[in-house]
Chain A
Amino acid sequence: MPRLAPELIRAARSRHPLLPLLLPECRTIEQASMELRWLAREGRWGARGTGGGGGRGWLRALCEKRGRGWPLQYLLGTQPFGALEIMCERGVLIPRPETEQFTSHLGGHILKHLHPRSRVGIVDLCTGTGCIPLLLHNQLSMAGMSSRILGVDISARALRSSKRNLEHNKKSLSANVREDIEFFHGNVLAVDGLIEAIGEKVKGVDIVISNPPYISKESFNRSTGRSVRNYEPKLALAPEGGDGDIFYPAIGRAAERLGSQAVVAEVEGWEQANRVKQEWEGTGVWEGVDIWRDFAGIGRTVVGWRCGWEWIRDGPDVVSYRDWKE
């Protein structure tokens, strides 16, 4: 990480005495000011790691931790996701804006193309905080469409987190959300057992969706952020063994065997997107496979569909800007 320019630190200090603490992680005064505001507004006495005692030093303590790389979401305990608020804790991956974008795009697609009185069956593999099932349920139930959504994860912490999040967001979800959404333990790479467990819980599956660990070993060491590498669970980021593509054949096979009409999975970028596309095309199960870009124009999601579901091909819009001053 490049050294911070002394002028930058001085300029930050002249704005607010705590700003320089945030600079190592935030890099720009603008980002640091935003985060300081959020920390002051949403951080609390006894927030994680501030000693639990409260007192005047809590904001400074939060800033120091943030400067050392603690994710803002772990310090504040939440991350907004669509209209929902997802609770975040160490050991569970923080929901990403790219995931938020393609999930709500998919939700819009479902509402537009499926019959409003149909009950959509969705399986989310590697669900983590449960953000994808919860956001989809929120979107569909707001429009009056019912759904049956399963979330699968191998991590006990993730399962605890997803169940807490269901309770936390109950107000934004429809009354019978407890029957509609279910989180349970499962190993995605052991497809046979997974199919059996899912088959017991849901009749028809329309969509299999997943944001699996996809970062290869080299990529993990080279291009992840410090905050990600040091504080987020490696289990949710990089598959064991170092091969970032390992989950996709399993996801495709699970979708195939569940009779799913479509399969949707987040990927690292264009290279992986093309590899996954090729892999899924090779199985001959899907009528078509295509890549959605994210808001930054990066190939982010691979979608496969069976006959009649061609509408799923259209991805979200590329809309982004990079700089505060732009």
Chain B
Amino acid sequence: MISRTATYICHRCVFRQFRSQSTGLLRRAQQLSNEHSELEKQLADGYDKKLATRAGQLASAFGELKEMLADRNLDPELRPLAVSDMTSTESSLSTLATTITQSLVQPHPFAHLSALVEIRPGAGGSEASLFAGDLLKLYTTYCANIRNWPLSMVSLTASAEGGDGVQEAIFGVEAPGAYEIFRGEAGVHRVQRVPATEKQGRTHTSTANVVVLPSFPQVELGEGEEDPDSIIDMKDVRVDVMRARGAGGQHVNTTDSAVRMTHIPTGIVAAIQDSRSQHKNRAKAMMVLKSRIAEKRRAEREAEELALRRSVAKVNAGRSDKMRTYNYIQNRVTDHRCGFSLHDLPSFMNGETLDSMIDQVRKWQMERDVENLDTR
């Protein structure tokens, strides 16, 4: 970080600082310029051009200021001005970088949903289930005291040994956006401490496994209500009727009441010819079409949920796959993904400082998502 009081800053420091804003982002920008022509159209949707331009302007202003500072012959009166300008430029540059990062990264498709959190003890026997109980307490107090989110216990199995140990805990956090907050908590949590059950004062290492799933709203239909899955735009529906042979009109009196409806985006077809009334066939075809579309949408969503569950279940609860360590002896909690540490474990376990940890993890996730953009 550039010190706000510095009157001089070396060229290299400035550049290093600037680069460290986001290496992933810079690489992305480079790639963008290479693939500019073919990607231009896609970028127009997701990438905020105004912001990018502004960032570009600021970067060049930054360079100029930096050169001014490097110039020893600079007017002494101008120097403080340049320094203060530089400070503000630098801070707006970093917020802009974050904003661009956010606009580059697609929001998670389930970010708006509420969450279903599952906690199970991993390696470490009864100590592991005690720690699972601690994690459950951490999340419940966090939801209740910090977020003020309603929490519903889906299933809670106490461990066979009794005490505060937990064999399995599943709870729903019923707040929109809870999944986005909680999804970084999924993984193996490792604890290093002297367990309450330990008689000889040895330090144990145990784990608990946390699974976070998006919770899809359960639809219960009241009378006259429509399944939201079945809502379709009538502009997308093509309605065809069977027609009589020949001249039609008064020339023919054959009953041709069949109706066929096609939902163009999905290609789903409903053809009804059951009634002599085209009016009734129409209503029935619409009903059939809607329920077929709802069925398809539901199946797709379930497949997505299943895939998600499988990808989460891959995480095994071994000690070495940990993503976070709770070290009671050193009064420290460290997230191994983003390398962030907090040094007040009791307040963390009360949920008071969990937010700052979650923020760091989300930053790391976003950074990683930008990296992933490169390889796509």
Interface check A278, CB cutoff 8 A: no
In the bound complex, what is the Cα–Cα distance between A321 and B278 (angstroms)? 14
Task: With CB as the reference atom, state the residue of chain B lying closest to A215.
Answer: B250
From A11-19, A57-65, A91-99, give the one contacting chain B.
A91-99
Kindly supply a per-residue 1/0 record for chain B positions 249-269, scoring 1 wherever the CB is within 8 Å of any chain A CB and 0 otherwise: 111111111101000000000
A237→B250 contact, CB < 8 A: yes
B255→A72 contact, CB < 8 A: yes
B243→A228 contact, CB < 8 A: no
A34 smallest CB distance to B (angstroms)? 6
A96→B254 contact, CB < 8 A: no
Q: Name the A residues within 8 Å of B245 (CB-CB).
A: 322
Do A228 and B276 contact each other (CB < 8 Å), given the known contacts A98-B248, A298-B247, A320-B243?
A: no
A319 touches which one: B240, B248, B256, B258 (CB < 8 A)? B240
Q: Which chain B residues in 48-63 approach chain A with CB under 8 Å?
A: none
B250 smallest CB distance to A (angstroms)? 5
Interface check A143, CB cutoff 8 A: no
B255→A35 contact, CB < 8 A: yes
Do A321 and B242 contact each other (CB < 8 Å), given the known contacts A71-B253, A268-B250?
A: yes
Kindly supply a per-residue 1/0 record for chain A positions 86-124, scoring 1 wherever the CB is within 8 Å of any chain B CB and 0 otherwise: 000000011011101000000000000000000000000
B258 smallest CB distance to A (angstroms)? 8
Q: Which chain A residues in 287-315 approach chain B with CB under 8 Å?
A: 294-296, 298, 300
B232 smallest CB distance to A (angstroms)? 17
A223→B246 contact, CB < 8 A: yes
Q: Name the B residues within 8 Å of A73 (CB-CB).
A: 253, 255
B240→A321 contact, CB < 8 A: yes
Interface check B332, CB cutoff 8 A: no
B145 smallest CB distance to A (angstroms)? 55
Task: With CB as the reference atom, state the residue of chain B lying closest to A37.
Answer: B274
In the bound complex, what is the Cα–Cα distance between A322 and B276 (angstroms)? 17
Interface check A174, CB cutoff 8 A: no
Task: With CB as the reference atom, state the residue of chain B lying closest to A301.
Answer: B249
A227 touches which one: B241, B242, B253, B275 (CB < 8 A)? B253
A225→B249 contact, CB < 8 A: no
Do A80 and B277 contact each other (CB < 8 Å), given the known contacts A98-B248, A98-B249, A268-B250?
A: yes
Interface check A214, CB cutoff 8 A: yes
Interface check B327, CB cutoff 8 A: no
B279→A82 contact, CB < 8 A: yes
In the bound complex, what is the Cα–Cα distance between A269 and B251 (angstroms)? 11
Interface check B296, CB cutoff 8 A: no
In the bound complex, what is the Cα–Cα distance between A232 and B276 (angstroms)? 19
Q: Name the B residues within 8 Å of A211 (CB-CB).
A: 250
B275 smallest CB distance to A (angstroms)? 7
Q: Which chain A residues in 260-306 approach chain B with CB under 8 Å?
A: 266-269, 294-296, 298, 300
Interface check A38, CB cutoff 8 A: yes
Q: Name the B residues within 8 Å of A319 (CB-CB).
A: 238-241
A320→B240 contact, CB < 8 A: yes
Q: Name the B residues within 8 Å of A5 (CB-CB).
A: none
Size of the chain A interface, CB-CB below 8 angstroms? 49
Interface check B280, CB cutoff 8 A: yes
In the bound complex, what is the Cα–Cα distance between A71 and B250 (angstroms)? 13
B248→A225 contact, CB < 8 A: no
Do A320 and B252 contact each other (CB < 8 Å), given the known contacts A34-B273, A79-B276?
A: no
B43 smallest CB distance to A (angstroms)? 39
Interface check A83, CB cutoff 8 A: yes
In the bound complex, what is the Cα–Cα distance between A317 and B252 (angstroms)? 21
A225→B240 contact, CB < 8 A: no
Q: Name the A residues within 8 Å of B257 (CB-CB).
A: 80, 97
Do A321 and B260 contact each other (CB < 8 Å), given the known contacts A35-B255, A38-B276, A225-B254?
A: yes
A320→B247 contact, CB < 8 A: no
Do A269 and B243 contact each other (CB < 8 Å), given the known contacts A73-B253, A100-B278, A225-B253?
A: no
B249→A96 contact, CB < 8 A: yes
B236 smallest CB distance to A (angstroms)? 15
A79 smallest CB distance to B (angstroms)? 7
In the bound complex, what is the Cα–Cα distance between A93 and B251 (angstroms)? 11
In the bound complex, what is the Cα–Cα distance between A117 and B243 (angstroms)? 37
In the bound complex, what is the Cα–Cα distance between A317 and B237 (angstroms)? 13
B335 smallest CB distance to A (angstroms)? 60
In the bound complex, what is the Cα–Cα distance between A20 and B227 (angstroms)? 44
B247→A97 contact, CB < 8 A: no
B244 smallest CB distance to A (angstroms)? 8
B255→A266 contact, CB < 8 A: no
Interface check A31, CB cutoff 8 A: yes
A38 smallest CB distance to B (angstroms)? 6
Q: Name the B residues within 8 Å of A237 (CB-CB).
A: 250
Do A214 and B250 contact each other (CB < 8 Å), given the known contacts A35-B255, A80-B280, A295-B241?
A: yes
Q: A71-B253, A215-B250 known; 9 other A-B pairs, CB under 8 Å?
A: A35-B255, A72-B276, A83-B279, A96-B250, A214-B249, A224-B250, A295-B241, A296-B248, A300-B248
Can you pick out 5 interface pairs between chain A and chain B where the beta carbons lie within 8 Å of each other?
A: A71-B253, A93-B250, A97-B244, A269-B247, A296-B243
Which residues in B have some Cβ–Cβ distance to A below 8 Å? 238-258, 260, 273, 275-280
**Closest 3 interchain pairs by CB?**
A80-B277, A320-B243, A296-B243
